[in-house]
């Protein structure tokens, strides 16, 4: 080769949206688009730190906004993505699917830039330190109640209430670390996540990541959001899916009574009868030995502190009472923002529309903020999943303004209205199923 001849740069490969959409994982390959660049993630999904399913849910689609939303060190992540790059969209192709709302997408990205400039993505470490201390104080107060007042019924019950409160609040705090919302580096977030969910609660961080990131990627999307996996085997959820189930003449449960049996198999049972056992299956099946070690440290701690006071049987009774109380707290709070909302198959909508149709808020108050771990700001949390929770109320007016401009409903309601809407929506979808089952 003539030394004066410049080296040829490889000609970039260009693709259309139709070509990308065909690589959705239903066959062999999985592609996705980020900032007009096309990536082949077929082999990478198994190595994806956030889990294989969450990234696969965007196969065949534009993933620019979820990519920005989920990662705190985007520059570092992009370096690892270079090996997956196979081309880019053809110049005549739009930057995202033609079916999506162009103006809404661009204005939301402007809002993201504004949020960054306002410093709303930076955490107040004192807030989270005090939050952790209040959980530890509740934990200590529970043990001291038995140690000082004895193990009769009233101190036992008070101990269970204090421990349940500590467990529920630790659940909200692990959620912060799991979302990388507290520290600027993933390492510290992951370490504290293991401590809170593993040592303080006895659950595996990898299990939470596996389920929760999918929920955020595609909320209320059937077969992509594991939080609605109780459809159709236990409940008929959402108007569209319930009618679809009825037309197919499928009946796994008497869904027209689901608003009644929800009180039996929903809030009381999820943690003690399902999660408590499934987490051990998960860590052994996936060989998550680090998670198992953190979990063992939790069970060792409560055994060493409570067996001398209660004996083994007494500890088991206390443990399952705590899980029962915590389960009621957890289910009502986590379902009030989603079950009454739109539930459907994935329609590949833009990020804002996807999140807003699946989420609603509960009015701000000091109690509601504490009781729900600030998940009463579910809309803001879903739009900005790595934002520290103490900043949700600051960005809320900006989100409301964006929604009003584009005619998107921004729902916020009182706490008990939100609880009631769970039951009302189950009753409505159960009736829709019955009508379709009998008459369509």
Sheet hosting strand 14-15, strand order edge to edge: 14-15, 85-89, 37-40, 31-34
| DSSP code for 24 | B
CA distance 355 to 361: 12
Is the dihedral angle over the CA atoms 310, 311, 315, 321 positive or is it negative?
A: negative
Residue with structure tokens 């596996």? 210
Closest CA to 347 of 93, 82, 101: 101
Residue with structure tokens 């449960």? 253
For residue 264, what are the contacts with CB-CB under 8 A and spacing of at least 6? none
Characterize 193-221 residue by residue with b for buried, 16 or more Cβ atoms within 10 angstroms of its Cβ, and e for exposed. Answer: bbbbbbbbbbbbbbbbbbbbbbbbbbbbb
State the CB neighbour count (10 A cutoff) for residue 6.
Answer: 6
What pLDDT sits at residue 341?
98
Q: Looking at residues 365-389, what average pLDDT do you find?
A: 98
For residue 349, name the pLDDT band (cuts at 50, 70, 90): very high
Query: What would the pLDDT profile of 32-53 be if each residue is shown by its tens digit?
Result: 999 999 999 999 998 998 888 9
Token representation of residue 9: 């740069």
What pLDDT sits at residue 4?
53
Q: What is the pTM assigned to this prediction?
A: 0.94
Q: Is the pLDDT of residue 9 over 70?
A: no
What pLDDT sits at residue 26?
67
User: Can you list the pairs that 43-52 forms with residues at least 24 positions away whose Cβ atoms lie under 8 Å?
Assistant: 44/84, 50/209, 50/213, 51/209, 51/210, 51/213, 51/214
Q: Is the pLDDT of residue 10 over 80?
A: no
State the CB neighbour count (10 A cutoff) for residue 162.
Answer: 20
What is the secondary structure of 171-195 as a DSSP string? HHHHHHHHTT-SSSSHHHHHHHHII
CA distance 428 to 419: 15
Q: Is the pLDDT of residue 326 over 70?
A: yes
Q: Is the pLDDT of residue 18 over 60?
A: yes
Q: Is it true that domain 10-88 has CATH number 3.10.120.10? A: yes
DSSP three-state, residue 344: strand
Q: Is the pLDDT of residue 7 over 70?
A: no
Q: Is the pLDDT of residue 1 over 50?
A: no
CA distance 61 to 31: 8
What pLDDT sits at residue 135?
98
CA distance 302 to 296: 10
CA distance 24 to 146: 56
Q: Looking at residues 297-326, what average pLDDT do you find?
A: 97
Q: Looking at residues 283-288, what average pLDDT do you find?
A: 96
The pLDDT mean for the chain works out to 95
Q: Is the pLDDT of residue 74 over 90?
A: no
CA distance 307 to 315: 6
Contact indicator for 357, 410 with CB cutoff of 8 Å: no
Q: Is the pLDDT of residue 67 over 90?
A: yes
Q: Looking at residues 158-163, what average pLDDT do you find?
A: 98
Query: What would the pLDDT profile of 195-239 be if each residue is shown by its tens digit?
Result: 999 999 999 999 999 999 999 999 999 999 999 999 999 999 999
For residue 301, what are the contacts with CB-CB under 8 A and spacing of at least 6? 199
Characterize 95-122 residue by residue with b for buried, 16 or more Cβ atoms within 10 angstroms of its Cβ, and e for exposed. Answer: ebbeebbeebbebbeebbeebeeeebbe
CA distance 334 to 266: 12
What pLDDT sits at residue 281?
96
Q: Is the pLDDT of residue 3 over 80?
A: no
């Amino acid at each position: 080769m003539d030394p004066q001849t410049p080296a040829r740069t490889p000609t970039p490969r260009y693709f259309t949206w139709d070509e990308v959409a065909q690589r959705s994982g239903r066959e062999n390959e999985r592609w996705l688009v980020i900032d007009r660049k096309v990536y082949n993630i077929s082999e990478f999904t198994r190595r994806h730190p956030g889990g294989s399913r969450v990234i696969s849910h965007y196969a065949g689609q534009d993933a620019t906004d979820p990519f920005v939303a989920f990662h705190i060190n985007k520059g570092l992540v992009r370096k690892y993505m270079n090996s997956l790059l196979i081309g880019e969209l053809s110049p005549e192709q739009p930057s995202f699917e033609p079916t999506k709302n162009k103006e809404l997408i661009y204005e939301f990205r402007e809002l993201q830039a504004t949020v960054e400039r306002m410093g709303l993505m930076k955490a107040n470490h004192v807030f989270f330190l005090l939050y952790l201390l209040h959980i530890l104080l509740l934990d200590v107060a529970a043990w001291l109640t038995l140690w000082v007042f004895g193990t009769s019924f009233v101190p036992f019950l008070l101990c269970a209430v204090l421990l349940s409160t500590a467990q529920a609040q630790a659940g909200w705090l692990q959620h912060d670390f799991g979302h990388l919302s507290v520290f600027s580096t993933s390492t510290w977030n992951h370490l504290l996540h293991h401590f809170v969910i593993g040592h303080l609660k006895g659950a595996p961080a990898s299990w939470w990541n596996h389920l929760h990131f999918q929920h955020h990627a595609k909320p209320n999307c059937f077969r992509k959001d594991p939080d609605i996996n109780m459809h159709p085997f236990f409940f008929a959820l959402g108007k569209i899916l319930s009618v679809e189930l009825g037309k197919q003449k499928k009946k796994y449960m008497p869904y027209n009574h689901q608003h009644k049996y929800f009180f039996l198999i929903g809030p009381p049972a999820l943690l003690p009868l399902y999660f408590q056992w499934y987490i051990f299956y998960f860590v052994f099946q996936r060989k998550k030995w680090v998670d198992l070690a953190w979990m063992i440290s939790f069970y060792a701690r409560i055994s060493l502190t409570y067996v001398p006071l209660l004996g083994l049987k007494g500890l088991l009774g206390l443990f399952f009472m705590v899980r029962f109380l915590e389960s009621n707290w957890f289910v009502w709070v986590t379902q009030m923002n989603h079950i009454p909302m739109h539930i459907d198959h994935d329609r590949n909508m833009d990020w804002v529309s996807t999140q807003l149709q699946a989420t609603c808020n509960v009015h701000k108050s000091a109690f509601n903020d504490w009781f729900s771990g600030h998940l009463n700001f579910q809309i803001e949390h879903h739009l900005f999943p790595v934002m520290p929770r103490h900043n949700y109320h600051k960005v809320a007016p900006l989100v409301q303004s964006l929604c009003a401009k584009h005619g998107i409903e921004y729902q916020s309601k009182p706490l008990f209205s939100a609880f009631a809407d769970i039951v009302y929506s189950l009753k409505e979808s159960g009736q829709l199923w019955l009508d379709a089952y009998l008459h369509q």
